[in-house]
Structure 1
Amino acid sequence: MSTLLFWNCTGARKREAALYLKEMVREQDVCFVGLLETKMTCIGRREVDYLIGNDWDFYHIPAVGLSGGMLVICNRKIVLFVVKVTSSQVILGDLLIPSMGLWKIATVYGSRCCKEREDLWRKLEKGLKEHYPSIIGGDFNCVLNKEEKRGGKRFVFSEGLREMNQFMTNSDFHDVRSIGPRYTWCNNKEGASRIWERLDRCLVNSIVLQKIPSAMTRHLARVASDHSPIAFKLDEKIQVKRKNIKFEDTWRSYPAARSIVYHSWKKNDFGDHSEIL
């Protein structure tokens, strides 16, 4: 179990949210969960047990009124998470995985106000200076380009977007490729009023990319929330796609074909026989 899961659940007390969370933990081999917009001012052991089970430690940032709130949960049988920096927008800490060492993990719930997000970038820059593999995941409430938005007002390269790009450049963080639905949030309105955006993502530093060259974020199905959960596997393996080898008989009619095959066959290559072929 070495998958990180980040999810804006828009209310952690919903029965559907608890059922879906347990299903994702089981199917994705999750050891760490960052829940956003819990809408809970307080949470106790009994509520966490109901939400995910009794093997999980937790740390909670209370909601303000009927909005916000963050909850980080980790499986104590597999990992240890030590909280280092907190605010209404981030919970940052050290995640110790016995077989993989120490990782810096930040769960983010970015403010919709780009001015307030300035404090988020400052805290992340300060808290992620150490030379460790670092991952920032969650709902940034910001899209990086026009391809990450469909519907609604025209995309504008705003001051908030420039600040996010500047943070990523200055602190060596990179957006990784994703699989699954292109957009992670929908306002669930009908017709021309419907808006889709990619608000949720994982950012990783260069050390992570060296450890996991095939790093990717999985956008899971939107259930019990208007946001897709996003999953990031720390032990992602590079999968070599094997292609069928086809030979068209008509190729023999071309004089150049014999020369191409002859020179290709003489090349030195490595791997098993099928890969060499």
Structure 2
Amino acid sequence: MSSLLFWNCRGVRKKEAALYLKEVVRDQDIFFVGPMETNMTGIDRKDVDGLTGKDWQYFHFPVVGLSGGILVLWNKKVVTFVVKETSSQIIVGGLFIPNLGLWKVVTVYGRRCCKERESLWSQLGSCMENYIPSIICGDFNCVLNKEEKRGGKRFLFSKGPRDMKCFMMNFDFNYVGNIGPRFTWCNNKEGASQIWERLDRCILNSATLQKLPVAVTRHLARVASDHIPIAFKIDEKVCPKSKTIKFEDTSRSYPAAKSIVYHSWKKNDFGDEVMILQRKISRTLKALFFWSRNKCKDLNMLKEELKKEILAL
């Protein structure tokens, strides 16, 4: 099952954020990523290769002032994405998914001030079309009811949540259920000063729900940011599995890997030099792959247990 991922990473160049993003993209089978609050004035090919890989295209709206910035990345081998409209609060585009057709995808980074968010609802309203399946996801910086807040000041149904509710009602957008933690943001304080809120969410129009009647979002572990990543699952698997076997850097940390390389490489081969080299490389990589899969099984199990502990905390 393939997914779209949206995350307020609070700085996309942070080493911890980049490593976690790369892991989530792999584990959740992600083909589209919308990181918010990149805190970057510009991004280049080298940055993108470090985040998601060489098969990914990107578009970046730079930071305005001291914070902000929205980045969208998509796997060009799997989907096509065309940017239609941008601002400091949204990137709107058409996402073509094989077997599923054209979708409108909006990555949102709403301003904290509800007055400044007025332009967000106006811009969203001007580009919505009821007949096109549409997904709006990101950090809205808005709590809609008292159940979405714990700690801090008492929730009031003020202008901010009223404006968002009004937009959802007027343009037929609905909130769908989620798996994982209820709150998506924490101020990282302890005791009576701790605040939890649901600032991040996905909302879908009726055309999307008709295509995906069991649509669900997954709230992932909160790591490297005070916001959690949100994965939106697509029912059909659209990302083809790569048949390429690659050498993993972690293999070098095991003495046994050197022995595997030595014994695989010293076997005699016949033919021209190019064919001999190709067979040696292929045989060595396959041997390392199967050894690594068995050796790292315990490490993967440990990683999954640690993720469960993080979610429980």
Q: For residues 17-75 of structure 1, what are the alpha-carbon distances to aligned partners after superposition, in whole Å with 9 as ceiling and x for unaligned? A: 11111111111111100000000011111111111111110000111233100100000
Please report how far the alpha carbon of residue 215 of structure 1 lies from its aligned counterpart in structure 2 after TM superposition.
1.0
Gaps of 5+ in 1: 238-277
Amino acid at match of 2:153: K
State the number of aligned residues. 237
In 1: Cα distance, 2:41 partner to 2:66 partner: 9
Asked whether the 8 Å contact 2:64–2:88 carries over to 1, the reply is no
Please report how far the alpha carbon of residue 236 of structure 1 lies from its aligned counterpart in structure 2 after TM superposition.
6.8
In 1: Cα distance, 2:161 partner to 2:106 partner: 19
Amino acid at match of 1:166: C
In 1: Cα distance, 2:171 partner to 2:29 partner: 29
Amino acid at match of 1:221: A
Equivalent residue for 2:72? Answer: 72
Asked whether the 8 Å contact 2:89–2:111 carries over to 1, the reply is yes
Q: Secondary structure at the match of 2:16?
A: helix
**How do 1:124-273 residues align onto structure 2 when only pairs under 5 Å count?**
124-129=124-129, 131-235=131-235
Q: Secondary structure at the match of 1:165?
A: helix
In 1: Cα distance, 2:208 partner to 2:65 partner: 37
In 1: Cα distance, 2:180 partner to 2:62 partner: 31
Q: Secondary structure at the match of 2:214?
A: coil
Please report how far the alpha carbon of residue 129 of structure 1 lies from its aligned counterpart in structure 2 after TM superposition.
2.1
Please report how far the alpha carbon of residue 130 of structure 1 lies from its aligned counterpart in structure 2 after TM superposition.
5.0
Please report how far the alpha carbon of residue 213 of structure 1 lies from its aligned counterpart in structure 2 after TM superposition.
1.3
Task: Report which of the two has the higher share of helix.
Answer: 2
Asked whether the 8 Å contact 1:212–1:236 carries over to 2, the reply is no
Worse overlay, 33-42 or 116-125: 116-125
Q: For residues 147-184 of structure 1, what are the alpha-carbon distances to aligned partners after superposition, in whole Å with 9 as ceiling and x for unaligned? A: 00000000000111111000000000001111100100
In 1: Cα distance, 2:162 partner to 2:64 partner: 28
In 2: Cα distance, 1:63 partner to 1:28 partner: 28
Asked whether the 8 Å contact 2:130–2:171 carries over to 1, the reply is no
Tell whether 2:32 aligns with 1:16. Answer: no
Amino acid at match of 1:142: C
Amino acid at match of 1:147: E
Q: Secondary structure at the match of 1:60?
A: strand
Q: Secondary structure at the match of 2:121?
A: helix
In 2: Cα distance, 1:236 partner to 1:120 partner: 31
Tell whether 2:36 aligns with 1:36. Answer: yes
Equivalent residue for 1:246? Answer: none
In 1: Cα distance, 2:153 partner to 2:166 partner: 24
Moved over 3 A (4+): none
Asked whether the 8 Å contact 1:108–1:137 carries over to 2, the reply is yes
TM-score (structure 2 length as normaliser): 0.74
In 2: Cα distance, 1:118 partner to 1:111 partner: 9
Task: Report which of the two has the higher share of strand.
Answer: 1
Please report how far the alpha carbon of residue 87 of structure 1 lies from its aligned counterpart in structure 2 after TM superposition.
0.4
Identity %: 69
Q: Secondary structure at the match of 2:24?
A: helix
In 2: Cα distance, 1:10 partner to 1:236 partner: 31
Q: For residues 194-213 of structure 1, what are the alpha-carbon distances to aligned partners after superposition, in whole Å with 9 as ceiling and x for unaligned? A: 00001000000011111111
Equivalent residue for 2:92? Answer: 92
In 2: Cα distance, 1:191 partner to 1:81 partner: 44
In 2: Cα distance, 1:153 partner to 1:227 partner: 19
In 2: Cα distance, 1:200 partner to 1:160 partner: 14
Q: Secondary structure at the match of 2:117?
A: helix
Q: Secondary structure at the match of 2:103?
A: strand
Asked whether the 8 Å contact 1:214–1:236 carries over to 2, the reply is no
Q: Secondary structure at the match of 1:168?
A: helix
Gaps of 5+ in 2: 238-313
